[in-house]
Amino acid sequence: MLPVSESRGRGIFVTGTDTGVGKTLAAAALARFLANQGVRVGVMKPVESGVADPARLGEDGALLRWASGCDAPVQLIGPCRLKAPVAPSLAAELAGIPVDIDGLVAAARQLLERYEFLIVEGAGGLMVPLQDAFLVGDLACRLGLPLVTVCRPGLGTINHTLLTLQAARCWGLRLAGLIISGMPAEPDLAERHAPSMLAELSGVEVLQVLPRVPGEARHKVVALSRQFTPTILDKIL
């Protein structure tokens, strides 16, 4: 069976080197930038745990929808919403609701048909379990979208990023590039050298270095969306 994207539209799968690395902010900022460039952007958070009210989108899914202006139904943007703030497989077990992998793939297919570009944000990193031994990386493989990896600039990021990319290569995922999230205004020695070292050691292009910005989530997304330039369109579209 062909990956969803090979017979449908274009898009990216956004993963992170860890939970809390800034993946949602980066994905939402990119979605907002593309929407401001006139691209009809679809967004998807296939599985989100820690959702206070599973009848509604979680914080990540809601932020992606707001940033992109995506008008798709909630069931497509966030097909699986789980209450417990733990790994999705455990959250699903606690809720007594198995994660429907085929349903996630079908939802992505519908979004790819409706929109010019689709941004799918994974849960945590590639090795996070979604259902039994089925991992986020397995879902990325099923979708067949190029992978954008969001990473930190600080000490330890080289190890975490290279491990993530190694795992991605084992799945045969296409590596679209890196986004470094949370660069401080006055970076230390490790942070200053992180972009060049990551690009050199991984062989993967650094698409964007996003600064650390204060404020609430929507304010951050607006500020970060202004960091992107039209050159990124040639790299991901």
Give the tens place of pLDDT for each residue, 52-109. Answer: 999 999 999 999 999 999 999 999 999 999 999 999 999 999 999 999 999 999 999 9
Domain ranges of the chain: 4-236
Domain at 4-236, CATH from 3.50.50.60, 3.40.50.300, 3.40.1010.10, 1.10.3720.10: 3.40.50.300
The pLDDT tens digits of the residues spanning 160-179 come to 999 999 999 999 999 999 99
- Indicate the DSSP class of residue 39: -
Query: According to the model, what pLDDT value does residue 4 have?
Result: 59
Report pLDDT for 3.
64
Q: pLDDT, tens digit, for every residue of 180-228?
A: 999 999 999 999 999 999 999 999 999 999 999 999 999 999 999 999 9
Instruction: For 162-176, give one letter per residue: b (16+ CB within 10 A) or e.
Output: bebbebbeeeebebb
Note if 45 is an active site residue.
yes
Q: Out of 23, 45, 83, 220, pick the active-site residue.
A: 45
pLDDT-derived band at 1, boundaries 50, 70, 90: very low
Structure confidence at residue 7 (pLDDT): 37
Nearest to 181 by CA among 60, 63, 18, 55: 18
Q: What is the rounded CA–CA span in Å between residue 195 and residue 226?
A: 19
| Calpha distance 215→112 (Å, rounded) | 32
Q: What are phi and psi of 118, to 5 degrees?
A: -120, 130
